[in-house]
Homo-oligomer: A and B are copies of this chain.
Amino acid sequence: MRDVLATWRPVIDTEIERLLPREIDAEYVASFFGEPTYEYDSTAIQRALPDLTWDLLDRGGKRWRAVVCCLLIEGFGADPHDYLPYACIPEILHNGTIIVDDVEDGATMRRGETALHHDFGTDIALNAGNALYFFPLKIVARNPGDLDAETRLALYEMLMHELNRTHLGQGMDIQWHNEREIRMTEAQYLEMCACKTGCLGRIVARLAAILTGQFAEDERHAARYAELMSISFQIGDDILDVETATEDGGAFGKGIGNDVREGKKTLMAIHAARNADPERAARLEAILWADENTDEEVREVIDLLRETDSVAYARECALDIASEARDHLAALDLDEESATQLAEFTRFMVEREV
């Protein structure tokens, strides 16, 4: 799978660069965004959009959203090279959300470097993040795939559906973060993941299905596959944070045991709060709620998550959801090579070191 990612990544990056070059001029701005009424200041726009975007893109990222989109397009029997600009849509959206989320979360680091709003200033970073929400949506109107009107409309309606729910998910997550009590149900937690992370996955899959003209039922299976995989991945990520918390170093730029320090209400925390005795559950809420935690407190929470079998429980959930994802993938009539690569990818993403 690493090979597939390695093969596709430069193709995707070349395509993103074609859409949003590293160096732009007034001619590019006019051709992509439309003629100016008066006169663009392309020097300012250079700094406001491509400089910041490429700073982030060059920091890494596997571009898996674009790659999965391409694999699905191939699986549906079309040539992904005919639809590369579309495959970049979720990838660009994702990078926009990263910038905005970091402002919302008050993050200091991103991919091992200073978060963009610290590097460039909150104003310009935030505007670029938001610009990256709308930039990719313009691709559909530019119509590089020569799609008929019905297909373009279907793409817009799909994108609006998913991008609305993305903000519901982020809203729930933030709101919970701002409450001391761990009151959400597991179903609500999974819904938050489905909206916040899953919807971007759904965009990946539904793009592929709509672009290649699949039946509604197949679009639904593809969307569910990507959604469930995203949820499983999210839970796996939370587990990884706990698993590596007791080790030294760790490869994560974001830090270690960070979810506890950030007061994140993970599936493990919800499970532990429900299964610990009331006193320890209250202690869990208190530590997650506190602005600062000692290493001792972080360890205390992690010990509790283990004692209540919450880590094992979350792992089981993640694996069940991944298996459900694979069922939806199997329900699709994909060409064999793509299906194998996608199944492998699912394993790669979910299992990792979990």
Contacts and interface: CB of A to CB of B under 8 A. Distances in A.
B123 A34 contact: no
B44 A175 contact: yes
Nearest to A44: B175
A178 B125 CA distance: 12
Interface of A: 29, 33-34, 36-41, 44-45, 47-49, 100, 103-106, 121-124, 126-128, 130-131, 133-135, 137-138, 140-141, 149-150, 152-153, 156-157, 160-161, 163-168, 170-172, 174-178, 184-185, 187-188, 190-192, 194, 198, 227
Contact of A174 (B103, B127, B172, B190): B127
Contacts of A198: 37
A37 B133 contact: no
A167 B40 CA distance: 12
B41 A134 contact: no
Contacts of A160: 134, 137-138, 140-141, 156
A178 B121 CA distance: 9
A38 B190 contact: yes
Contact of A127 (B37, B44, B167): B167
A177 B127 contact: no
Nearest to A132: B167
Given A131-B167, A137-B164, 20 more contacts: A33-B165, A38-B191, A38-B194, A39-B185, A41-B175, A44-B184, A48-B174, A103-B103, A103-B122, A104-B127, A121-B178, A124-B174, A126-B126, A127-B171, A133-B133, A134-B163, A134-B164, A135-B167, A149-B153, A153-B156
A134 B130 CA distance: 11
B194 A164 contact: no
Nearest to A188: B41
B130 A48 contact: no
A104 B122 contact: yes
Given A175-B124, A178-B123, A37 B104 contact: no
A199 B234 CA distance: 38
Contact of A124 (B38, B121, B163, B178): B178
